[in-house]
Amino acid sequence: MFKNLIVYRIGEGWSASASQLEAELAKARFVPCGASQQKSTGWVEPRGEAHGPLVEVVGGQWVLRLMSEQRVVPGSVVKRRTEEIAEQIEKQTGRKPGKKQTKELKEQALLELLPMAFTKQSGLSVWLSPKDRLLVLDCGSQSRADEVVTLLVKALDGLSLSLIQTEMSPAVAMAHWLGTGEPPYQFSIDRECELKSPDEMKSVVRYARHPLDTDEVKQHIQAGKVPTRVALTWRDRLSFVLTEALQLKKLSFQDVVFEGAAAQSAGSKADKAEAFEADVAISTGELVQMIPDLLEALGGEALTMASVGTLKPEPASGVAASAAPVARPTHPHPAADHAPPWDV
């Protein structure tokens, strides 16, 4: 269900119900692009069933799905059409269009070509865990995540979100794990990583399907190369690649996680409904345990006063705005012999 993760903390004080969320998202349902529309974004049914709910609630977890559609017109085609129009104008008037007019011609060319362009759709899963105050996006880029956060904050009155930060940067932690060969508590290091030089050379070393507990890797770390990606497995149940930006990529659940699940890819509507609910329940059930362990491995969640978007009223002139600090998880620290070294 999830392939990439970017995790946010939901600000305290927001307590909308699933039905309230449903009503707000219904105002922004997905509608395919019109003939002259370049992009359309809106909410669709997570189960993929027409006229179904936009908010699916499974075991206290809320799942949404955002759909985007874009008409794709190659830049070279727009350029060629712009030049054709410019040539026609030059023949008729005896003068070449200037910069300003050329820009207008480019917009005209795009509008002419849009109705003939193919459309491309992409979906994105959104998971809210109200009890844990987590918002998780199945997203591979921060810019895309920012778009989703903006849509949610505009739609939901009083919602504030902050990108989760940790006391220790992922790069520092990953350097220690690779340099010492000691993985964090509850995790093991897999066979993929990327190391970058911080100097002007910006040299890169990548390992794929390769042991990382070698002298060669340690020498790269000692020479100052910084890990930007490291593959990890949590409790032999869930694998992913951790990035320097605290994003999780290539998320993969081990077979043991879904053993005994009644999920089926085909069959009656009842079978499909059970498969969807099993997928959501198992996936979120694993992730809601793994995320605190990962934050703990990185020194715990950092207190922050910054929130990403809020619909709270602007403060009066001269009055500073304040946001409630994000609380740290209260799960216990790992055993001392596995604890990360804070003096790295």
Count other Cβ atoms within 10 Å, centred on residue 91. Answer: 8
* Same domain? 40 vs 149: yes
User: Which of 11-20, 41-50, 292-301 is the most confident on average?
Assistant: 292-301
Residue 315 has pLDDT above 60, yes or no: no
pLDDT band at 50 (very low <50, low <70, confident <90, very high): confident
Q: Give per-residue pLDDT as tens, 70-110.
A: 998 889 998 999 999 999 998 988 899 899 989 999 988 88
204 forms beta bridges with 196
**DSSP character for 95?**
S
Cα-Cα-Cα-Cα torsion 18, 22, 28, 29, nearest 10 degrees, comes to 120
Which letter, b or e, does each residue of 116-150 get, where b requires 16 or more Cβ atoms within 10 Å of its Cβ?
A: ebeeeeeebbbbbbbebbbbbbbbeeeebbbbbbe
Question: What's the mean pLDDT in 62-77?
Answer: 93
Listed range (191-195, 221-225, 244-248) with the worst mean pLDDT: 221-225
Most confident region among 83-87, 100-104, 222-226, 245-249 by mean pLDDT: 245-249
Q: Are residues 62 and 150 in the same domain?
A: yes
- Report the distance separating Cα 152 and Cα 155, nearest Å: 5
9 in the same domain as 97: no
Local confidence band at 308 (pLDDT 50, 70, 90 cut-offs): very low
Is 60 exceeded by the pLDDT of residue 314? no
Q: Is the pLDDT assigned to residue 144 strictly greater than 90?
A: yes
Would you say residue 311 has pLDDT above 70?
no
User: Do residues 204 and 273 both lie within one domain?
Assistant: yes
Structural domains counted in the chain: 3
Share of the chain above pLDDT 70, in %: 85
Note whether 264 and 336 are same-domain residues.
no
For the stretch 118-133, pLDDT in tens is 889 999 999 999 999 9
Task: Report the range of poorest mean pLDDT among 73-77, 145-149, 236-240, 273-277.
Answer: 273-277
Mean pLDDT of the chain: 85
User: In this structure, are 138 and 180 located in the same domain?
Assistant: no
Do 242 and 152 share a domain, yes or no? no
State which residues form the domain around 108: 75-115
Pair (144, 184) in one structural domain:
no
| The predicted structure's pLDDT at residue 261 | 64
* Residue 330: band (very low, low, confident or very high) from pLDDT cuts 50, 70, 90: very low
In terms of domains, do 86 and 230 share one? no
The pLDDT tens digits for 251-282 are: 999 988 887 664 444 455 567 778 899 999 99
**Residue 318 in this model has a pLDDT that exceeds 60:** no
2 and 15 belong to one structural domain: yes
**12 and 152 housed in the same domain:** yes
Strand stretches in the chain, DSSP E: 6-10, 39-44, 56-58, 61-72, 118-129, 134-137, 161-163, 187-196, 204-208, 226-234, 238-243, 248-253
Residue given tokens 């002419």 in the structure block? 112
Quick check: 58 pLDDT over 70? Answer: yes
Backbone angles phi, psi at 40, to 5 degrees: -140, 135
Does residue 292 have a pLDDT over 90?
yes
Asked if residue 183 and residue 126 are part of one domain, the reply reads no
For the segment 333-343, the average pLDDT, to the nearest whole number, is 38
Q: What is the dihedral of CA 239, 243, 247, 251, to 10 degrees?
A: -20
Give the model's pLDDT for residue 268: 54
Tell me the pLDDT band of 35, cut-offs 50, 70 and 90: confident
Mean pLDDT of the 227-245 span = 97
Identify the DSSP state of 317. T
Tokens coding 322:
């304040």
Q: Which tokens in the block code for residue 69?
A: 């559609």
Closest Cα to residue 340, out of 180, 225, 230? 180
